Amino acid sequence: MINPNPQTHYAGPSLRQDVETRTLSVLVDNEPGVLARVIGLFSGRGYNIDSLTVTETEHEKHLSRITIITRGTPAVLEQIKHQLERLVPIHRVRDLTFEGVSLERELALVKVAGKGEKRIEALRMAEIFRAQVVDTSIEHFVFEITGKPGKIETFINLMTELGLVEVSRTGIAAIGRGAAAM
Protein backbone atom coordinates (compact mmCIF):
# COMPACT_ATOMS: atom_id res chain seq x y z
CA MET A 1 0.00 0.00 0.00
CA ILE A 2 2.76 2.42 0.87
CA ASN A 3 4.65 4.20 -1.87
CA PRO A 4 8.12 2.66 -2.09
CA ASN A 5 9.52 6.00 -3.20
CA PRO A 6 8.77 8.47 -0.45
CA GLN A 7 10.59 11.27 -2.25
CA THR A 8 7.71 12.20 -4.49
CA HIS A 9 4.35 11.05 -5.73
CA TYR A 10 4.55 12.95 -8.91
CA ALA A 11 5.66 11.04 -11.89
CA GLY A 12 7.97 12.96 -14.17
CA PRO A 13 6.68 13.91 -17.62
CA SER A 14 8.10 10.68 -19.05
CA LEU A 15 6.08 8.62 -16.59
CA ARG A 16 2.70 10.20 -17.27
CA GLN A 17 -0.16 7.75 -17.41
CA ASP A 18 -1.43 6.63 -20.79
CA VAL A 19 -5.03 6.88 -21.84
CA GLU A 20 -6.77 3.50 -21.79
CA THR A 21 -10.13 2.29 -23.05
CA ARG A 22 -12.34 0.42 -20.61
CA THR A 23 -15.70 -1.28 -20.67
CA LEU A 24 -17.86 -0.56 -17.63
CA SER A 25 -20.95 -2.54 -16.77
CA VAL A 26 -23.34 -0.69 -14.50
CA LEU A 27 -26.36 -2.27 -12.84
CA VAL A 28 -29.02 0.33 -11.98
CA ASP A 29 -32.58 0.63 -10.79
CA ASN A 30 -34.68 1.32 -13.86
CA GLU A 31 -36.27 4.49 -12.55
CA PRO A 32 -36.96 7.80 -14.34
CA GLY A 33 -33.87 9.92 -14.78
CA VAL A 34 -31.28 7.24 -14.03
CA LEU A 35 -29.72 7.47 -17.48
CA ALA A 36 -29.67 11.27 -17.21
CA ARG A 37 -27.78 10.93 -13.93
CA VAL A 38 -25.14 8.74 -15.53
CA ILE A 39 -24.76 10.85 -18.66
CA GLY A 40 -24.83 14.08 -16.65
CA LEU A 41 -22.03 12.77 -14.47
CA PHE A 42 -19.88 12.10 -17.54
CA SER A 43 -20.54 15.44 -19.20
CA GLY A 44 -20.41 17.43 -15.95
CA ARG A 45 -17.04 16.04 -14.96
CA GLY A 46 -15.57 16.01 -18.44
CA TYR A 47 -15.31 12.24 -18.92
CA ASN A 48 -15.55 10.55 -22.31
CA ILE A 49 -18.25 8.21 -23.55
CA ASP A 50 -17.30 6.25 -26.67
CA SER A 51 -20.33 3.98 -26.59
CA LEU A 52 -23.33 3.56 -24.35
CA THR A 53 -26.10 0.99 -24.31
CA VAL A 54 -28.93 0.64 -21.85
CA THR A 55 -32.02 -1.44 -21.44
CA GLU A 56 -33.97 -3.18 -18.70
CA THR A 57 -32.50 -6.64 -18.20
CA GLU A 58 -34.41 -7.91 -15.15
CA HIS A 59 -38.04 -6.90 -15.46
CA GLU A 60 -39.36 -8.13 -12.08
CA LYS A 61 -36.65 -6.26 -10.20
CA HIS A 62 -36.74 -3.25 -12.54
CA LEU A 63 -33.00 -3.49 -13.07
CA SER A 64 -31.28 -2.05 -16.11
CA ARG A 65 -27.80 -2.72 -17.30
CA ILE A 66 -25.77 0.13 -18.77
CA THR A 67 -22.64 -0.68 -20.75
CA ILE A 68 -20.28 2.24 -21.16
CA ILE A 69 -17.09 2.31 -23.18
CA THR A 70 -14.94 5.10 -21.81
CA ARG A 71 -11.42 6.42 -22.18
CA GLY A 72 -9.08 7.95 -19.64
CA THR A 73 -5.90 7.59 -17.64
CA PRO A 74 -6.04 4.94 -14.91
CA ALA A 75 -6.54 7.73 -12.35
CA VAL A 76 -9.50 9.17 -14.26
CA LEU A 77 -10.97 5.70 -14.77
CA GLU A 78 -10.79 5.05 -11.03
CA GLN A 79 -12.59 8.35 -10.45
CA ILE A 80 -15.30 7.44 -12.98
CA LYS A 81 -15.96 4.19 -11.16
CA HIS A 82 -16.16 5.84 -7.74
CA GLN A 83 -18.29 8.70 -9.01
CA LEU A 84 -20.73 6.21 -10.56
CA GLU A 85 -20.87 4.23 -7.33
CA ARG A 86 -21.91 7.40 -5.50
CA LEU A 87 -25.14 7.69 -7.47
CA VAL A 88 -28.02 6.47 -5.34
CA PRO A 89 -29.87 4.19 -7.86
CA ILE A 90 -26.68 2.37 -8.86
CA HIS A 91 -26.28 -1.17 -7.52
CA ARG A 92 -22.90 -2.16 -8.90
CA VAL A 93 -20.19 -0.93 -11.22
CA ARG A 94 -17.79 -3.41 -12.81
CA ASP A 95 -14.80 -2.61 -14.95
CA LEU A 96 -14.96 -5.58 -17.31
CA THR A 97 -11.68 -4.73 -19.03
CA PHE A 98 -9.81 -4.45 -15.76
CA GLU A 99 -11.35 -7.45 -14.04
CA GLY A 100 -10.69 -10.04 -16.70
CA VAL A 101 -11.76 -11.35 -20.05
CA SER A 102 -15.10 -10.12 -21.26
CA LEU A 103 -17.22 -10.57 -24.33
CA GLU A 104 -18.14 -7.49 -26.31
CA ARG A 105 -20.65 -7.54 -29.12
CA GLU A 106 -22.37 -4.95 -31.22
CA LEU A 107 -25.09 -5.06 -33.84
CA ALA A 108 -25.19 -2.78 -36.86
CA LEU A 109 -27.68 -2.23 -39.65
CA VAL A 110 -25.81 -1.18 -42.77
CA LYS A 111 -27.58 0.21 -45.82
CA VAL A 112 -25.75 -0.14 -49.14
CA ALA A 113 -27.11 1.08 -52.50
CA GLY A 114 -25.74 0.34 -55.93
CA LYS A 115 -25.95 -1.69 -59.08
CA GLY A 116 -23.87 -4.17 -61.04
CA GLU A 117 -20.45 -5.33 -59.92
CA LYS A 118 -20.43 -3.30 -56.70
CA ARG A 119 -23.74 -4.77 -55.63
CA ILE A 120 -22.48 -8.31 -56.16
CA GLU A 121 -19.25 -7.51 -54.32
CA ALA A 122 -21.21 -6.10 -51.38
CA LEU A 123 -23.22 -9.29 -51.11
CA ARG A 124 -20.05 -11.39 -51.30
CA MET A 125 -18.43 -9.37 -48.54
CA ALA A 126 -21.58 -9.73 -46.44
CA GLU A 127 -21.31 -13.51 -46.72
CA ILE A 128 -17.67 -13.44 -45.61
CA PHE A 129 -18.62 -11.32 -42.59
CA ARG A 130 -21.70 -13.44 -41.94
CA ALA A 131 -23.96 -10.43 -42.26
CA GLN A 132 -27.64 -11.12 -42.96
CA VAL A 133 -29.64 -9.38 -45.61
CA VAL A 134 -32.73 -8.05 -43.81
CA ASP A 135 -34.13 -5.77 -46.52
CA THR A 136 -33.50 -5.47 -50.22
CA SER A 137 -34.66 -4.02 -53.52
CA ILE A 138 -32.96 -4.12 -56.89
CA GLU A 139 -30.90 -1.10 -55.87
CA HIS A 140 -30.11 -1.63 -52.19
CA PHE A 141 -29.43 -4.01 -49.33
CA VAL A 142 -29.78 -3.58 -45.59
CA PHE A 143 -27.31 -5.87 -43.83
CA GLU A 144 -27.54 -6.91 -40.22
CA ILE A 145 -24.12 -7.66 -38.80
CA THR A 146 -23.20 -8.73 -35.29
CA GLY A 147 -19.78 -9.09 -33.77
CA LYS A 148 -16.89 -7.43 -32.07
CA PRO A 149 -16.74 -3.69 -32.66
CA GLY A 150 -13.56 -4.11 -34.76
CA LYS A 151 -15.25 -6.49 -37.14
CA ILE A 152 -18.17 -4.12 -37.62
CA GLU A 153 -15.80 -1.23 -38.17
CA THR A 154 -13.97 -3.22 -40.87
CA PHE A 155 -17.20 -4.22 -42.58
CA ILE A 156 -18.43 -0.63 -42.66
CA ASN A 157 -15.10 0.55 -44.05
CA LEU A 158 -15.34 -1.99 -46.85
CA MET A 159 -18.91 -0.98 -47.63
CA THR A 160 -17.94 2.69 -47.99
CA GLU A 161 -16.41 1.82 -51.34
CA LEU A 162 -19.41 -0.26 -52.34
CA GLY A 163 -22.19 2.29 -51.94
CA LEU A 164 -22.65 2.76 -48.21
CA VAL A 165 -25.70 4.99 -47.55
CA GLU A 166 -26.16 4.92 -43.81
CA VAL A 167 -25.39 2.96 -40.66
CA SER A 168 -27.21 2.42 -37.40
CA ARG A 169 -25.25 0.83 -34.55
CA THR A 170 -26.54 -0.39 -31.18
CA GLY A 171 -23.41 0.37 -29.23
CA ILE A 172 -21.58 -2.31 -27.36
CA ALA A 173 -23.14 -4.90 -25.05
CA ALA A 174 -20.65 -6.64 -22.83
CA ILE A 175 -20.59 -9.45 -20.30
CA GLY A 176 -17.89 -11.19 -18.31
CA ARG A 177 -16.87 -14.73 -19.27
CA GLY A 178 -17.44 -17.61 -16.87
CA ALA A 179 -20.29 -18.77 -14.64
CA ALA A 180 -20.38 -15.83 -12.21
CA ALA A 181 -22.63 -12.78 -12.53
CA MET A 182 -21.37 -9.22 -12.12
Partner 1 sequence: MARTMTGAEMVIKALQDQGVEHIFGYPGGAVLPIYDELFQQDKIQHVLVRQEGGALHAAEGYARSTGKVGVALVTSGPGATNAVTGLTDALMDSIPLVCITGQVPTHLIGNDAFQECDTVGITRPCTKHNWLVKNVNDLARVLHEAFYIAKAGRPGPVVIDIPKDIQFASGNYVGPSNIAHKTYKPRVKPDPALVRDAVELMASAKRPVFYTGGGVINSGPKASQLLRELVRLSGFPITSTLMGLGAYPASDKQWLGMLGMHGTYEANLAMHDCDVMINIGARFDDRITGRIDAFSPGSRKIHVDIDPSSINKNIQVDLPIIGDCAYVLEEMLRVWKAKAPQLDKAALKAWWKDIDGWRARKSLAYKNSTDVIMPQYACQRLYELTKDRDTYITTEVGQHQMWAAQFIHFEEPNRWMTSGGLGTMGYGLPAAIGVQLAHPKALVVDVAGDASILMNIQECSTAVQYNLPVKVFILNNEYMGMVRQWQQLLHGNRLSHSYTEALPDFVKLAEAYGWTGMRCDHPADLDDAIREMINHKGPVIFDCRVAKLANCFPMIPSGKAHNEMLLGENVSDEDVSKAIGKEGKVLV
CB 66 within 8 A of CB 26: yes
Nearer to partner 1, 6 or 116 (CB): 6
Residue 9 found at the interface with partner 1 (CB under 8 A): yes
Helices 149-160 and 117-128 cross at an angle (nearest 10°) of 170
User: Which residues between 74 and 93 bind partner 1 (CB under 8 A)?
Assistant: 75, 78-79, 82-83, 85-91
Nearer to partner 1, 36 or 181 (CB): 36
Nearer to partner 1, 85 or 135 (CB): 85
User: Which residues between 89 and 148 bind partner 1 (CB under 8 A)?
Assistant: 89-91
User: Which residues between 17 and 56 bind partner 1 (CB under 8 A)?
Assistant: 29, 32-33, 36-37, 40, 44
Determine the distance from the C-alpha atom of residue 144 to the mean position of all C-alpha atoms in its chain, rounded to a whole number.
18
Nearer to partner 1, 86 or 179 (CB): 86
Determine the distance from the C-alpha atom of residue 5 to the mean position of all C-alpha atoms in its chain, rounded to a whole number.
37
Q: What's the rounded Cα separation, in Å, for the pair 114 and 106? A: 25
Task: List residues near partner 1 by CB under 8 A.
Answer: 1-3, 6-10, 29, 32-33, 36-37, 40, 44, 75, 78-79, 82-83, 85-91
